[in-house]
A and B are shown apart, each in its own frame.
Chain A
Amino acid sequence: MQTFSYYHPTELSALFELMQQYPSAYKLLAGGTDLLVRLKSGRISPKAVIDIKAIPEIQGLIERVGEAFVIVALTLMADLESDPRIQQSYPALAEAVHNVGSVQIRNRATLAGNLCNASPAADSAPALLIYQASVVCLSPRGERTLALQDFITGPGKTALAADEIVKQIILPIPPTNQAAAFARLTRRKGVDLATINLCCQVNTNGLTRFVLGAVGPMPVIVEEKDGLLSSPDESETAKRACIESLMQKATPITDVRASKEYRQAMLAVLGYRVLVTALKRLGSGA
């Protein structure tokens, strides 16, 4: 690993000053589970690594504020997946986060870090999009809130400005007439990037949404509004055909994990499976 200047600011103002001092030559360090891999490989060689773990405003916290849960930036994956309130209100998110890396990774990695890396295969992104998450960004200029789909702008790219950090993620309390589930395909069970991942949300009003990960530069959102997928009277064949046509919006590529044809085919398979799980949850009121 190439050397760098390491900073450990304990105040927001000091953090912003450092970010200004090293324009486009700094990297922020939270959990480090992705950053250290990239530092070691030499893919990045920042002049400064700024450890943000002592900034009071972003200390890990999951808190209900009005009709939403606020997940403050430094919240660890491990704390998120084991939080009973998250398991209860956002089961698809708890499932997605539980699938990230390993126990060791989840004990270090932060949710905000996962979003800032903006990997097309990030497991948390489809679940957060299903639950209509937004991201609060903070800079010396003030705060702004972006819908998550506007925050992620491309593979490894976000809407964060050079002087901005993520302060928190906001998750509206989902309405009671919906249920959601997460599914994922990997080559092995532990410590693997998703070949594909997806979330499905069904609503009693007939709307069914899917968010698809690892099958495009950014998560892909598709919807079915006619109530076919959520109807108990429609046949499995009709539902599978509907899902297959919805999944045509994905634009998977061939890479080391799978071919684009395999990804496209598995989207339909997992899409139906995750729909069934979501419908069961809707039926049981979970």
Chain B
Amino acid sequence: MEIQNLHSVSFVVNKRLYAINVEPQHTLLDVLRDQLDITGPKECCGVGECGACTILLNGRAVNACLILAVEADGKEIVTIEGLGSPDSLSPMQKAFVDAGAVQCGFCTPGMIMAAQYLINNNPNPSEEDVRVALAGNLCRCTGYSRIIQAVLSVSQNNQAKAQA
């Protein structure tokens, strides 16, 4: 019965192709974390309210907890692991570290993915744009100020580069 109900899917995560079998009731978040050991996306609320599981699916920020793994067949996924590495942080990751935008860190991977999605689509956002873009990401530690500073500092760096 179990075997009959498996679906073979293939998708790209952080530029690597995976061809795996998944159960229909498993979410993309379940499969990323438990089957592929990609644990950057976190499970927190599980119902799309906290954003800790935010990933990019075909370039769009989405909650991986509200997507079935079978739905991701043929898609391209980027998680926090796909942005930078511990030795070579991406500009957004570095901005979070520099601004002190991380305390317990549980929300950080999702927060950075939502922030990256904003910058990808709007390289020079206003503070209000940042607040709207991160409205779906909860942080219980920082009070958000430094997170917003971090995102704005990336856009200011973009502007500085454009002028240079």
Q: Which residues of A contact B (CB under 8 A)?
A: 1-6, 8, 29, 32-33, 36-37, 39-40, 49, 51, 53, 78, 101-105, 107-108, 189-191
Known pairs A29-B68, A36-B67, A108-B63. 7 more at Cβ < 8 A?
Answer: A2-B25, A32-B68, A36-B68, A51-B71, A103-B133, A104-B61, A104-B62
Given contacts A4-B25, A6-B7, A39-B25, contact A190 B136 (CB under 8 A): yes
Contact with A along B37-50 (1 / 0, CB 8 A): 00000000011110
**CA of A1 to CA of B62 in the docked complex: distance in angstroms?**
20
Chain B positions within 8 Å of A, measured between CB atoms, are 5, 7, 23-27, 46-49, 51, 54, 60-63, 65-68, 70-71, 73, 114, 117-118, 132-133, 135-137
Q: Is the CB of B23 within 8 A of A3?
A: yes
Give every chain B residue within 8 A of A40 (Cβ-Cβ): 46-47
Q: How many A-B contacts at CB < 8 Å in the complex? A: 88
Chain B positions within 8 Å of A103 at CB level: 61, 114, 117-118, 132-133, 135-136
Residues A191 and B24 in contact in the complex (CB < 8 Å), given A8-B70, A32-B68, A53-B71: no
Question: If the complex has contacts A33-B48, A40-B46, A190-B135, are A107 and B60 also in contact, measured as CB distance less than 8 A?
Answer: yes
Complex Cα–Cα for A86 and B136 (A): 24
CA–CA, A42 and B68, complex, Å? 16
Bound CA span A189–B131, Å: 10
How far is B26's CA from A39's CA once the two chains are assembled, in angstroms? 11
CB distance from A17 to the nearest CB of B (A): 19
A108 to B65, alpha carbons, bound, how many Å?
12
Contact between B24 and A6, CB atoms less than 8 A apart? yes
Query: Of the candidates A4, A5, A37, A104, which one forms a contact with B136 in the assembled complex, judged by CB atoms under 8 Å apart?
Result: A104
Min distance, Cβ A51 to any Cβ of chain B, angstroms: 6
Q: Given the known inter-chain contacts A105-B48, A190-B136, please indicate yes or no for A33 contacting B23, CB distance below 8 A.
A: no
CA distance A49 to B71 in the complex (A): 11
Instruction: Tell me if A107 and B61 are in contact (CB < 8 A).
Output: yes
Give, as a whole number of angstroms, the nearest-CB distance from A78 to chain B. 7
